[in-house]
A and B are shown apart, each in its own frame.
Chain A
């Protein structure tokens, strides 16, 4: 057999080094496929087998998957953008200009981050409604629903804190309006606003706080909750099949 790319590929996969990293083998048997999931740190949250119905597009519209995908895109692009960003006034705005004008593919990464952020908010909302209408919030998945609601709020907060970072007019006034809505909370509203902005107006302190929230605190919390969310999917019986649990006697299509 003449050497082919596939031949080399298979040779590579049978080397000791490869086998030490990817513990499962190359086979296509059920066992191998099961091991591929079980022994992969990223995939082991999923069960080895899934219900065929739950894989149908109509079951979930893959909204949760897409939400996770946007989160991962946002993490990747966000880390790259951080390399050209100084959370200070007015340097933050100059950095936006630099991204636009002098950083290779800077404007693309910024666009991708921005649109992915909007997409994530939208997808998470849609995910929630889809889960609701499919009835997937019902026991035993009620706790995972609560985590989902918290993740929704976190997503909103992540997006909101990121909104200030370009330090342009849009950012400044959107945050000002948002912060003023928050200060309407009786008793503690003003205090919360004060703590969040690090002062009474949206200024350099607020920018730094939003930066830390956006880049460190909220992503960490969100990542943790996402892990729990996924773990609970499996523990609560896998993805909801999308079967409407109809009461007895009702017409069933």
Chain B
């Protein structure tokens, strides 16, 4: 009857159309952001500061537009209380104020850090975009990844990102994957996989077999990943590695038989201790805990791995085998060498290679091993004779944080997020297919999270940000000391622990201005017999057995070259009259309470955070002490001692007091005991 009575149809349909059209504005009225704003007004109604909050509240859609960052944020339409600090104890989103951060919300917007779709005004679209090409919000767990879009320095407050970036280089990820930071600096690996060109000098085929099958069985801290090799493949690879190895003349030093009696072992153990090998190397103690540093490899099973001749040659001169090694060249004499090598050779583990029985390698095995080594990319990390280092071996991860989900193959039952994918890929790479080359790394959950954080920072947006936002990382210095002293410093590998002019490790004090700080006699003596200055330190400077001539040369070089331009080390010492000393003592003990951290009188003082000051008067120059008291951080950035704003006169008195601490008698006594 549609057209039977067109008037009736016209009237009825007109009403229906009107009702339908009335729904259109209703949809706006019931929009999510409007509902949340009403909820906010309900929430603040009962509060004491309701009037203030209501006055500050503005209805409607709130937009932050930052054209130069490409940010359009409407998050504030629902998160209306981002700047209301007084609502800090409101545990309900979206009404929580933003916790304090070093950036202004108006200048950065929300999506720069939290990602997600800032332009959306619905919960679902803004937080978890349904479109595969659009960024969902980054989970709080990986939030620090956003900091890495601008920060190439390593500020405190983002430990996860900093640790993650360190892991990327330390675990050698960047050997295979190329990763360029947003500021254009390509990450370089900081691990140092050994060259395998002379591997047969060092170890046996059986050890290689057992090692590549499971490196962590040999050493729990080994960074080499597990390639999950089949027995035949490990057999062939070990055969090839032995076959390609060439012999180094230096490794074939004649060996006097290592003494293995108990007394010699005991002497070797104390040699190991005296040489402070534990500063860098760890050995499992009886309880199975690792004792020692993690700079060098773990030595618990070194006797199983290293051939005795090689071990002696290596300790005798590490650079003879590996010119790039961090290990210092101890000047051990033959007897010492025998003792310490004997001690290490005894560090064996019969279980490690118990089941390894390898027949003579056939040429076919060697050929197959070479094929495997080539295919698996061993030469990306290790130098191997006859195999070129492959370029572009694994996918470039420079923009992995912006990889569209459409380009990702997810495993079934896996959350369809980039973070989940990257995490799974790091945790169990082979779960994506046994034919994949990426090996299994030995990482703790926290480390995986850190790596994911560092990788998610590699976004497309990061590279398009204005350059003024970028905070560059510390450029690595390639400082090289010159001359004979320079050669000696390289031989002793001072830079493994000490940092000078921006180059070197952070295990020991920065020596950039050491020449201004110390007195000649003390330094000379210190080289001959390094004693530690800090009572609680585990890592200590080893005794390198340098000759008098070497020690003298090094001392002169340091005093001459490593001088701060800020003051003259030889500026006259303040008069050391007793009253000044007494005043200094008063200041030391009461006004500044230095004994909280330092020891001047070993009988009385107990503080052991800072160096012991019992003989500081014969160690440091007066000028250095004075300047140090005036501002420790200006002399050695990052040092723990707080700047106490000590006045000149107080500093003078304290300097006088400290310079009076010669401490000869006491140390002599201590030595006699």
Contacts and interface: CB of A to CB of B under 8 A. Distances in A.
Interface string A30-71: 000000000000000000000000011100000000000000
B120 A57 contact: no
B25 A105 contact: yes
B394 interface: no
Contact of B2 (A57, A101, A105): A57
B27 interface: yes
Given A57-B2, A94-B119, A97-B120, A105 B133 contact: no
B489 to A, nearest CB: 56
B119 A108 contact: no
B163 interface: no
B3 A101 contact: no
Among A55, A97, A107, A169, the one with the most B-chain Cβ atoms within 10 Å of its Cβ is A97
A105 B24 CA distance: 6
Interface in B1-43: 2-3, 24-25, 27-28
A101 B122 contact: yes
Contacts of A102: 61, 63, 74, 121
A106 to B, nearest CB: 9
A105 B3 contact: no
Contact of B72 (A94, A104, A107, A108): A94
Nearest to A97: B119
A140 B24 CA distance: 46
Interface string A95-111: 00110011011011000
Nearest to B126: A101
Contact of B119 (A55, A101, A107): A101
B133 A101 contact: no
Nearest to B122: A101
A101 B74 CA distance: 9
A105 B30 CA distance: 12
A105 B74 contact: no
A98 B74 CA distance: 11
A57 B125 CA distance: 45
Contacts of A94: 72, 119
Contact of B27 (A56, A97, A108): A108
A169 B24 CA distance: 28
A8 B3 CA distance: 31
Contacts of B25: 104-105
A97 B120 CA distance: 7
Interface residues of A, number: 13
A105 B61 CA distance: 14
Interface string B369-390: 0000000000000000000000
Interface string B70-113: 00101000000000000000000000000000000000000000
Interface in A90-126: 94, 97-98, 101-102, 104-105, 107-108
B119 A98 contact: yes
Nearest to B27: A108
Contacts of B2: 57
B11 to A, nearest CB: 16
Contacts of A107: 27
A180 to B, nearest CB: 21
Contacts of A169: 133
A101 B62 CA distance: 12
A104 to B, nearest CB: 5
A101 B24 contact: no
Interface in B51-68: 61, 63
Contacts of B28: 104-105
A91 to B, nearest CB: 11
A97 B118 CA distance: 10
Contacts of B24: 105, 108
Contacts of B72: 94
A98 B24 CA distance: 17
Interface string A218-247: 000000000000000000000000000000
Contacts of A97: 119-120
A108 B23 CA distance: 10
A94 B119 CA distance: 8
A94 B61 CA distance: 16
Contacts of B122: 101
Nearest to B72: A94
Contacts of B74: 101-102
A10 B560 CA distance: 111
Contacts of B125: 101
Given A94-B72, A102-B61, A108-B27, A57 B119 contact: no
B121 A101 contact: yes
Contacts of B119: 94, 97-98, 101
A65 B120 CA distance: 39
A56 B3 CA distance: 8
A20 to B, nearest CB: 28
Contacts of B61: 101-102
A41 to B, nearest CB: 23
Contacts of A56: 3
A95 to B, nearest CB: 10
Contacts of A57: 2-3
Nearest to A109: B24
A107 B24 CA distance: 10
A55 B74 CA distance: 53
A58 to B, nearest CB: 10
A47 B61 CA distance: 52
Contacts of B27: 105, 107-108
A104 B28 CA distance: 7
Contacts of A105: 24-25, 27-28
A101 B32 CA distance: 10
Contact of B120 (A55, A101, A108): A101
B51 to A, nearest CB: 29
A127 B158 CA distance: 67
A-B complex: 5 closest residue pairs judged by Cβ atoms: A101-B121, A97-B119, A108-B24, A102-B61, A105-B24
Given A55-B3, A102-B61, A169-B133, 15 more contacts: A57-B3, A94-B72, A97-B120, A98-B119, A101-B74, A101-B120, A101-B121, A102-B63, A102-B74, A102-B121, A104-B25, A104-B28, A105-B27, A107-B27, A108-B24
30 contacts: A55-B3, A56-B3, A57-B2, A57-B3, A94-B72, A94-B119, A97-B119, A97-B120, A98-B119, A101-B61, A101-B74, A101-B119, A101-B120, A101-B121, A101-B122, A101-B125, A102-B61, A102-B63, A102-B74, A102-B121, A104-B25, A104-B28, A105-B24, A105-B25, A105-B27, A105-B28, A107-B27, A108-B24, A108-B27, A169-B133
Interface of B: 2-3, 24-25, 27-28, 61, 63, 72, 74, 119-122, 125, 133
